[in-house]
């Protein structure tokens, strides 16, 4: 646990007692703060009692009397579509608002670091798609290389819940736009931007606000090195803003197409990762046979992770060895089983059109299980990626409406996961892939995309029984 620095003797309010809120309370208490809390949920009293904090309704006038700071959980809106009443009240009463990410960066370094031969470093990863895989892959490569490391943030443990880093240790953080948008301190040593596609637009007031939240990690943080995916205009814009000229190797550009010039580039083309620096190629890796990284989108993730690890001094061949032993993450192009020559792949994390399109591009002859709570924008942008789909099996409460948008695709409305898996398995031929890539949120039928993926895996297990 990382005790929060500079809060001893102060009263600090915490809004939300979920995972990050609970960790913030404990870290603040360890730093000597008196903590009061508020949570809208039905378990608020029990959670507060477990933590030994008093509940205070932070929406009422005068709630922030004597309070030095409000710490809010990432899932609570602070601006769009409307600020939470407790946050609006903090503004009105002049109470500064921060989150656990801000507390982490202001509290990480301590006096003991003066005794280290190598100060710990922080690698922070953000972007729309691939940030979990990229973060986990960086952590895996470091672990394979024998470098002490921890993984936290939007994946794994909460940022304040990790152990204080040791000499030369690397902290790898996955950070969502919800986390970067509000943090008052953002000072990673290496910052990684994977890509940008429309998502969470209601929370950020549109695409500009969404990109601005991601960009804060670079603009506010001033990392020593920036790894930037440049396949979208926003990435190219940001790389241009960060670099002082074409040969500035503090910025490493990453792409799924060939890059040329004087700078530092890592790109994947036709399944091969290439590193170029100062106009010459310095490394190449064949990604095609790596089972844990199927498809172009995972090749992009590999490029970003490779680039980040190169900034930390790891050799190309050591990184290549680690790539081959990466098993992938659950619910992200995860091979569940192969039955009768048919592969069953769980990509329940493909909750938007762009991530589903990338999943579809990774396989040939697909029996596609899709559907759920549709996001803004419709499915039109997904249709060009459906050329490899033999048939779609649509789930979700609005399955019929979802299916109507899949023009040119043979569709069967199944509604439930069990029916979809059974029908796909019944019709699949050897060499085909039954792929769960919903292109939709899960909340119409499941508590999370993880629960949806677990249901898919359970239904596949029934086929083997």
Q: Which residues fall in the annotated binding site for ATP? A: 127-133
Environment class of 276 (CB within 10 Å of its CB; exposed 0-12, middle 13-18, buried 19+): buried
Helix (H, G, I), strand (E, B) or coil at 69: strand
Q: What is the DSSP letter of 277?
A: E
C-alpha distances in angstroms, 225 versus 172, 192, 310? 14, 9, 11
Closest by CA to 355, choosing from 143, 190, 196, is 196
Distance CA 238, CA 152 (A): 25
Structure tokens at 317: 């061949």
Distance CA 390, CA 365 (A): 6
Q: Which helix H or strand E contains 345, and what residues bound it? A: strand 342-346
Question: Which residues make up each annotated binding site?
Answer: 127-133
| Sheet (strand 170-174) strand order | 149-153, 170-174, 121-126, 190-193, 225-229, 251-255, 264-269, 272-277, 280-286
Distance CA 255, CA 36 (A): 46
Token pair 């020559």 is found at: 341
What is the CB-side half-sphere exposure of residue 460 using CA atoms within 13 A? 23
Please say whether the beta carbons of 273 and 289 come within 8 A.
Answer: no
* Residues written for the chain: 465
């Amino acid at each position: 646990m990382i005790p929060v620095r500079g809060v001893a003797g102060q009263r600090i309010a915490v809004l939300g007692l979920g995972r990050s809120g609970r960790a913030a309370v404990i870290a603040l208490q360890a730093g000597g703060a008196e903590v009061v809390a508020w949570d809208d949920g039905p378990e608020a009293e029990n959670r507060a009692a477990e933590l030994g904090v008093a509940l205070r309704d932070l929406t009422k006038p005068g709630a922030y009397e004597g309070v030095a700071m409000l710490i809010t959980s990432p899932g609570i809106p602070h601006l769009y579509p409307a600020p939470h009443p407790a946050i609006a009240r903090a503004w009105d009463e002049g109470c500064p608002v921060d989150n656990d990410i801000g507390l982490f960066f202001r509290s990480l370094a301590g006096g003991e670091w003066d005794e280290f031969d190598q100060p710990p470093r922080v690698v922070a990863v953000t972007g729309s798609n691939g940030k979990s895989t990229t973060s986990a892959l960086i952590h895996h490569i470091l672990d394979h290389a024998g470098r002490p490391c921890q993984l936290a943030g939007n994946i794994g443990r909460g940022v304040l819940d990790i152990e204080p880093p040791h000499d030369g240790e690397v902290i790898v953080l996955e950070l969502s736009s919800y986390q970067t948008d509000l943090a008052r301190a953002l000072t990673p040593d290496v910052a990684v931007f994977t890509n940008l596609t429309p998502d969470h637009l209601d929370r950020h007031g549109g695409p500009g606000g969404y990109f601005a939240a991601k960009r804060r990690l670079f603009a506010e943080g001033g990392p020593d090195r920036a790894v930037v995916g440049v396949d979208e205009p926003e990435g190219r814009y940001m790389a241009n803003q960060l670099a002082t000229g074409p040969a500035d190797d503090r910025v490493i550009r990453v792409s799924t197409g060939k890059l040329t010039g004087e700078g530092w580039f890592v790109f994947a083309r036709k399944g091969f990762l290439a590193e170029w620096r100062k106009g010459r190629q310095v490394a190449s890796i064949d990604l095609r046979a790596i089972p844990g990284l199927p498809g172009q989108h995972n090749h992009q993730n590999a490029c970003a992770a490779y680039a980040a690890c190169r900034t930390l001094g790891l050799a190309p061949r050591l990184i290549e060895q680690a790539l081959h032993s990466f098993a992938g993450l659950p619910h992200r192009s995860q091979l569940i089983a192969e039955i009768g020559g048919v592969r069953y792949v769980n990509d329940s994390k493909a909750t938007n059109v762009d991530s589903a399109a990338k999943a579809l591009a990774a396989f040939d002859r697909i029996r596609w299980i899709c559907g759920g709570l549709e996001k803004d924008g419709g499915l039109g942008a997904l249709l060009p990626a459906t050329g490899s789909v033999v048939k779609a099996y649509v789930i979700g409460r609005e399955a019929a409406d979802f299916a109507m948008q899949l023009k040119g695709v043979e569709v069967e409305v199944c509604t439930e996961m069990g029916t979809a898996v059974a029908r796909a398995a019944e019709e699949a031929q050897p060499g085909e892939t039954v792929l769960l890539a919903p292109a939709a949120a899960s909340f119409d039928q499941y508590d999370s995309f993880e629960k949806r993926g677990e249901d898919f895996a359970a239904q596949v297990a029934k086929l083997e029984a």
